[in-house]
Amino acid sequence: MVMVQRWLAHVRRRREERIALQAEAWFEGLGFLLEASRTLLRPQDLPLDLIGIVHRVDWRLEHIVHSERVLKRALRGRAPHLTSQLQEATRQAYHLRNQMISYFIRRKAFQDAEKAGEPTAYLDRREMEEVLLAANRISRELAAQLDGIGPALREALIPIPKGRGPELGDPG
């Protein structure tokens, strides 16, 4: 009986460790996306390895989605109210990625039109700036969401050791 209890405790501890690793991967992936957006959404020259950076962003987004699935399962019984916030933050991450790509396309169109001396280059510039503003707004909203959900998510994922919680009849 004691061996079974030890084995169950070990399995539970390993599961909690995996959940904690997924939470960190989720935060780290979103942090990478926010940092990439801050770098790429500057009006200076775009990096030469833009396609490589976009591929890394997409790769991170795949990992964010996987981590989100694991965390939603873990939160179902602990803090179901956090699952919608988790989903919304992941959705915002995809929205930010799409706005970044839209910005790159519009920026290239503006640069080509300006270089060719087209009289409608100002329209391309306006579209580029509108998308840039939208992407920066989404980036700020996502950062605020992470600041808001972070402490609650970490608290919900920290397991309360058996026998350490308040007992019935305890004042605390």
Q: Write out the residue range of the structural domain in which residue 124 sits.
A: 19-157
**How much is the CA Rg of the chain, to the nearest whole Å?**
22
- 159 Cβ neighbours under 8 A, 6+ residues apart: 12, 16
Residue 163 lies in a domain: no
Predicted local distance difference test score (pLDDT) of residue 162:
47
* Token pair of 18 as six digits: 């995996």
Residue 162 lies in a domain: no
Residue 75 lies in a domain: yes
Closest CA to 60 of 98, 37, 26, 92: 26
Query: Within a 13 Å sphere around the CA of 114, how many CA atoms are in the beta-carbon half?
Result: 12
Predicted local distance difference test score (pLDDT) of residue 166:
37
Residue 128 lies in a domain: yes
Residue 169 lies in a domain: no
Q: Which residue has the tokens 């790769």?
A: 59
User: How many structural domains are present in the chain?
Assistant: 1
Residue 44 lies in a domain: yes
- 103: CATH: 1.20.120
- Tens digits of per-residue pLDDT, 103-142? 989 998 998 999 999 988 999 999 999 999 999 999 999 9
Predicted local distance difference test score (pLDDT) of residue 161:
46
113-123: string of b/e by CB count within 10 Å (b at 16+)? beeeeeeebee
Say if residues 71 and 29 touch (Cβ distance below 8 Å): no
Q: How confident is the model at residue 40 (pLDDT cuts 50, 70, 90)?
A: confident
Q: Which segment of 3-17, 120-134, 155-169 scores lowest on mean pLDDT? A: 155-169
Residue 2 lies in a domain: no
Q: How many CB atoms lie within 10 A of CB 1?
A: 5
Indicate if the pLDDT at residue 66 is higher than 60: yes
Closest CA to 154 of 31, 12, 64, 21: 21
Residue 13 lies in a domain: no
